[in-house]
Amino acid sequence: GLWELDFRYQFAGNKLEFIHDQNVAYQNYGENKTIVRSNTGLRMDILWDIYATATYRFNYESEPAAGKLGKDSTLAVGLGAKF
């Protein structure tokens, strides 16, 4: 099974955007594995087509490969440009 969510909400005069993307996959064959991928953050327009972002990513796998962790998270801050 697969479940996906892509949510975006703009506020502060469309200068600030809240972002949340999430995917959940369930494989009901073999190892009955569940995989969750989540990305949550803010994007703020700075100047012209330049924006700043801050995001938190979280990944989970119920049956990871041998010797690997089932959870992984990342905090990222950056700049981007719209083309």
pLDDT tens, residue by residue, 22-57: 999 998 776 778 999 999 999 999 998 899 999 999
Q: SS3 for 7?
A: strand
- Smallest CA-to-CA distance from 53 within 78, 82, 17, 32 is with 78
- Rounded to an integer, what distance in angstroms lies between the CA atom of residue 77 and that of residue 57? 11
pTM summary value = 0.81
Burial of 35 (0-12, 13-18, 19+ CB in 10 A): middle
Question: CA 83, CA 76: separation in Å to the nearest integer?
Answer: 21
Task: Give percent above pLDDT 70 in the chain.
Answer: 99
* pLDDT tier, 79 (very low <50, low <70, confident <90, very high otherwise): very high
